[in-house]
Amino acid sequence: MLSNLPRGGFVSWARLSVLLLAGCTPSGAPGPTGSQSREADLNGLKCELKIQSEKDPELTWAVTDRVVAGFDGHQLEIAKTQVTLDNQQKKLPAGTTSVTINVVDHDVTIQADGKALFAPPAR
């Protein structure tokens, strides 16, 4: 098979093989830390989600007149006036311009304009 390649073809094939193998991790070996991020604008309300986890996190994210997300076993909904995390609802202060959600190894922190709405349990 390799003998049928044109002179430069073998070099290109070898480079491709090295690139493909460099991206592979042996089974059972630890991989890189997983992270995901999403942003949305709900008619002037900026929503930003950042997830950092030991493994690649699963994330669902939908934006209509609200943001609906699922991640790490949690359900989140952000509307113009409120945030709901796992069926616990909190009203957003009047005039809120941004909601940030940070998830670090299963701990969820949600802030409205830099002020905590939801924080991980104290340990």
pLDDT, tens only, 68-103: 999 989 999 999 999 999 999 999 999 999 999 999
Which residues are bridge partners to 35 per DSSP? 52
The pLDDT of residue 34 = 82
pTM for the whole structure: 0.71
For the chain, domain boundaries: 34-118
* Whether the Cβ atoms of residue 49 and residue 101 lie closer than 8 Å to each other: yes
What does the mean pLDDT of the chain come to? 80
The pLDDT of residue 38 = 97
Percentage above 90 pLDDT, the chain: 60
* Whether the Cβ atoms of residue 123 and residue 112 lie closer than 8 Å to each other: no
For residue 98, the one-letter residue type is S
Residue ranges for the chain with pLDDT beneath 70: 1-33
User: 99: buried, middle or exposed (CB in 10 Å: 19+, 13-18, 0-12)?
Assistant: buried
